[in-house]
A and B are shown apart, each in its own frame.
Chain A
């Protein structure tokens, strides 16, 4: 049995969703064109994940096993609709950037996966920590991926477009088109994701080897 701290921290490295669980790849590939898209999607997913974990964990003894998936979906969909409406009201630009991928959080396999594999078997406290950990891991991964792609592809880092928060890292001038536009194209997402996976595996292999030695 893991300690409570471990329940939280496992999501940040050991089971970080897109790289270790290799779940939720659809939004990972689709919305990481910019840093803003990355963290926006990550936080939206975190909110839904934490709330659904909480409710599913609380109701785990009431939900009939035969219809549990349908029940999970109803609970998840409730929070997705809340997220979608709140984002439309308060962060319209971010909501537009993420587009259809906000409603699609309903079918994000991270959330259903955590509901099925964790929240329906563990207590409320652990489920909350698990939700926060996995959610922040997802946010972190998406933000890093988005920052990398946006930096290489456009030379900028969009923190929050609605408040005009963006950094120009590589200044562009006439005849200085050295930006790697491929990276913001869909295939660039696959290449970037592959490179990150490789890096993660390399690091954990190295650390495992140094532990063994």
Chain B
């Protein structure tokens, strides 16, 4: 009898000699262009917010590891990634304390109770983001006028300005003011790191080519958003913006490539990943139309993450499986 030994572990499962740390560094590198574009568009405030976010996340993780008497897991870089993603998903005008609270909550509530890495049922940065977004619904919408943007984008105040953002598309008639090319090139108002669909797309493709992420979930998410927005637009052009508008604004691209591809909070099987993305994308459009005050894409992905165990039951047929063993 062969002495079989199985190692039971949680995702990520893909093994090719690379370390978790290198996968996280690759993810951060893939985010870098979009982040740099955000820094260029929103100036030093954006840089400072990202620095604050990363520092707060790392500090919290180090502190909790110390209090819990565990060896610090800082070196795998996940705290850096969490802080970075959180800061990239808020607008450049938010106060510093908001990012700090968000980063602390992301690590304290979203990550550490579930183990150091790979156990979080919801993407930790999203936990932090949505906690601060529900606590301070006005501050989270402190959008800032970017350096290069079409002149007709008027940003006055925050919450009442009519510009694309990850929120209810209050008035789709505004859509005519925005050229799809401008939106795609990142000349728009939005969260620091999520305004450039082009750079996020390139970063996402880099991740997929480096095999850090799989293509199914992002593809499904974009298809889901596109189809849902297309149907909505065809049925009611006054109530739902077109598919390209939905896909190129808010944190849609960011969500597709960087949030839907998290290792621990999304399904692991190909069909599971695709359906996760597809339904998530449709849900995001639905939440935007039906009226969430903020963060349709983050909410959609969080809700889908909670259903991940169900998607994980969709397993491919094992090679050589027969109907029964009689």
Contacts and interface: CB of A to CB of B under 8 A. Distances in A.
Interface in A157-189: 177-183, 185, 187
Interface string B131-162: 11011101100000000000000000000000
A194 interface: yes
Nearest to A194: B113
B97 A178 contact: yes
A123 B136 CA distance: 54
A194 to B, nearest CB: 7
Nearest to B101: A180
A104 interface: no
A191 interface: yes
A181 B134 contact: yes
A181 B109 contact: no
A182 B113 contact: no
Contacts of A177: 136, 138-139
B109 A191 contact: yes
**Chain A residues touching B, range:** 10 to 19
Interface in A120-154: none
B70 to A, nearest CB: 14
Nearest to B98: A178
Contacts of A183: 135
A180 B113 contact: no
A154 to B, nearest CB: 12
Contacts, number: 19
Interface string A188-201: 00010010000000
B99 to A, nearest CB: 14
A183 B135 CA distance: 8
Interface string B97-136: 1000100000001000100000000000000000110111
A35 B25 CA distance: 46
Contacts of A191: 109
A181 B136 CA distance: 7
A180 B135 contact: yes
A185 B109 contact: no
B138 A182 contact: no
Contacts of A179: 135
A29 to B, nearest CB: 16
Nearest to A181: B135
A180 B135 CA distance: 5
A179 B136 CA distance: 8
Max count, chain A CB within 10 A of own CB: residue among B109, B113, B138: B109
A2 B82 CA distance: 51
Contacts of B131: 182, 187
Contacts of B138: 177
A182 B136 CA distance: 9
A194 B105 CA distance: 13
Contacts of A187: 131
A179 to B, nearest CB: 8
A185 B135 CA distance: 9
A185 B139 contact: no
B134 A182 contact: yes
B85 to A, nearest CB: 19
A182 B129 CA distance: 11
Interface in B62-119: 97, 101, 109, 113
B119 to A, nearest CB: 15
Contacts of A185: 134
Contacts of B134: 181-182, 185
A183 B105 CA distance: 12
A178 B135 CA distance: 9
A32 to B, nearest CB: 17
A179 B98 CA distance: 11
Nearest to B95: A178
A185 B131 CA distance: 10
B112 to A, nearest CB: 11
Given A181-B135, A185-B134, A187-B131, 15 more contacts: A177-B136, A177-B138, A177-B139, A179-B135, A180-B101, A180-B135, A181-B134, A181-B136, A182-B131, A182-B132, A182-B134, A182-B135, A183-B135, A191-B109, A194-B113
19 contacts: A177-B136, A177-B138, A177-B139, A178-B97, A179-B135, A180-B101, A180-B135, A181-B134, A181-B135, A181-B136, A182-B131, A182-B132, A182-B134, A182-B135, A183-B135, A185-B134, A187-B131, A191-B109, A194-B113
Closest 3 CB pairs of A and B: A182-B135, A181-B135, A182-B131
